[in-house]
Structure 1
Amino acid sequence: MAGAERGEGRPAEQEPVVSLVDVLEEDEELENEACAVLGGSDSEKCSYSQGSVKRQALYACSTCTPEGEEPAGICLACSYECHGSHKLFELYTKRNFRCDCGNTKFKNLECKLLPIPDEMIQCIVCEDWFHGRHLGAVPPESGDFQEMVCQACMKHCSFLWAYAAQLAVPTVTKIITAEDDGVLNVDGTDDQKVIKAENGANHHESIPEESVLEKGKDVREENKAEQVDEPSTSSGSESDLQTVSMNEHQNTQSHSGCKLQELRTKKYVKQDTATYWPHNWRNKLCTCSDCMKMYADLEVLFLTDEYDTVLAYENKGKSDQGTDRRDPLMDTLNSMNRVQQVELICEYNDLKTELKDYLRRFADEGTVVKREDIQQFFEEFQSRKRRRLDGMQYYCS
């Protein structure tokens, strides 16, 4: 009987009924509690760099430190960014604690919020990636450069040194010792050579001398190089620089129209370092027939292509994405005439206002909003809309 009565009546188990007022009150209570506990902690920056913080909100991650492993704690920001999908236990607050995220207590995990001490930079010629400490010249602190050419590529494209004296972003030449982060020495003493003055007529270093002789150009004896100190060398170590002193051949270069020829008449320095270049520096490369042949021989013709840069590629991607990304609502509005657009916007505002007023009654009475209530609202809304349209009169001029 008992089972039959239960079967004829209401189901034994029902979903708990919660009013909208209860939901809002519970949400406000949880928000106030969260503000009290987490408000004093930074939710965006890892607290590791601050050392032992006087008091902060902490969490334990059982995903990264299972039972039996050395206990570890993480700050609020790392609980969001580095362990967001992990199983966490809230430890409330603790005093004099330093965040463990990224240290030896977390194996195979790097803190995503800690700044990278030496990020990698891509060479635009060979397109390999290098740590800044291995490039022989420290990247400009301001980050005010667009592209980098590594040491090996500067040797391969040695003509760039003539441009570097005028265009490259100034750097500080630095020798890294084994004591600095445990990296290998960048020893420039074995590679230091004084490059003697090149012949002004043979301005393409990669082209064999015989090809120049075939063109009937005079080859003069090499002049002694004049060694100059680079103004941006570090005070802790003297960097021996390779210096090139060019002969001025006014009679052969005044009418050549070659930018590289003109730059080679000036003194410039060759070093065993990478170089950093500003925005649009490629536009200043010479594009005369001799230089274009040199670029082809060195397989670096892409340097003269303004669309080859990573910046140009990214800008193209952004513009393409902007044109492809469409808003269906705006497309619909644009397909309507002025009258239809106004009517649609008015209907939307009416729906928003009436639905808000309809739900406010449930909140004031403390009753539950059911699916049937929402269906009833839209049925009544459509009915009112039809009555308005039926009673509307249109006049044609």
Structure 2
Amino acid sequence: MSAEHSGSPREDTVSLVDVLQEDEQLEEEASAVLGGSDSDHCSYPQGYVKRQALYACNTCTPKGGEEAGICLACSYKCHEGHDLFELYTKRNFRCDCGNSKFTNLQCKLFPEKEAANSKNKYSHNFFGVYCTCNRPYPDPEDQVEDEMIQCIVCEDWLHGRHLGCVVPDCVELQEMICEACMNHHPFLWTYAAHLAVPRAAEEEQQVKEESSGEEVKREAKEEEESTSNDSKAEASDGPSCKRSRQESEGGCRLKELQAIGQKIVQSGAVFWPSPWRSKLCSCISCQKSLAAAGLCFLLDESDTVLAYENKGKNSEQERGGHDPLMSALDNLNRVQQLEIIHEYNDMKTELKDFLQGFAAEGKVVTPDDIRQFFEQQQSRKRRRFNSGQFYCS
């Protein structure tokens, strides 16, 4: 997604502070989304990748045809110059590039692909539209500033104002399940009554008043059972957490919560705090139910987009530790190394001083300013060369 200038002189100039801040933010976002994906090799041989950055090509698979998704590398190598929809990330997806959905294109990176990927899941996102309003993003006809939030179940993106609830603070640290997915999997409402982010103080207080008596009884019963069974558990299996004993004894946390009967208004999207997945029941019965519903990923805390983004950022930081300049210097002799290092340090210092002057005076940097700076650099380099100046050890 990009923005275009209308061509007026003022729109071609921006403050240095704005440039630096925008560049830093874009780099961080790119590292988060793309850092965990390979930009050189098609992901198809890896099978159904747990989570990866995906794109849809409007040039090759326009609306009215079959949905198809391509990996990061194929978006660069096979679809350069095409009209692409950025899908952010999707889970358990295998690259479609060049398969039967593409009538006039063969994958340049991995041409030997099966006709279709039967386990891939598609949505209207692959045609560049999102939310319940079925609109593109960004939407040229929508003048309302609103954030888009991804449902972790259907992985569609929805406008905050179309979620049927108030978007909580620190939403970037939370996960959201849309109302349609909550209703499609009703057992999630039981968990929501106990684990979800409270929607409003009044609603939270009402729920507490309705269930406080039963909650106290349940906690007392659990404490009594825990105390009586501690010695047996330690003697047989050694120390273990309450969740482990519950699973080994066949207890079901979901049934316990259902028995409590705590209520929640069953409408609108639901937001969940970051540790909520670890509190879901993983007894054999629940595992089978989740598998049948295609929701096994809910028990996997590494499935979250936040975990994927952190992996991308860490990978980018590791790659950043290998300076390409230093790698190139290894192939030069000592005299050449010193000359290059001197030139590099000179230019870095002068560019920093040049830009700091603009920042201190609150001025903008124009293309002419940058051009003039490098012309001066070239002029100084020629003067040093003509004077016979060089460096050696």
Give the TM interval when normalised to the shorter protein: 0.3 to 0.5
Higher helix share: 2
The alignment's TM-score, normalised by the length of structure 2, stands at 0.40
Larger Rg: 1
The alignment's TM-score, normalised by the length of structure 1, stands at 0.40
Which of structures 1 and 2 has the larger relative contact order (alpha carbons within 8 angstroms, sep 6+)?
2
